[in-house]
Structure 1
């Protein structure tokens, strides 16, 4: 299994209630919401940025690896 690293695309495995990055209003990030890992901390903890299709950040969350699924766009291995 490939380890999550900086700049990887990930998807949430659960719903998370958080605050909007700019307004501070409460929002929900839903299971399947896609984000980009912007920092890797120790013990499989990651800072993930969530942004819209225009590149506007709407949430930044510190998440554990077990809350995330690594997304792949290229072939990972040949069967």
Structure 2
């Protein structure tokens, strides 16, 4: 397998594996912060909005993290 293809495979695989747990983690942190700020329980619409926000953040953060982790692990950026 071509080294570039192998690198991209590992980057995409790590993003796929980490997407659900990282988005859940971001969602929990943001919901707790907003509940503390508003001093009340959130509505279903607010929870859904926070979940969308967490997914967008995970979509932005994970490819960058995966790229740098795999480049350090596989020695691509040396």
TM-score range, shorter chain: under 0.3
Higher strand share: 1
> Rg bigger for which structure?
2
**TM-score calculated relative to the size of structure 2:** 0.24
Larger relative contact order (C-alpha < 8 A, sep ≥ 6)?
2
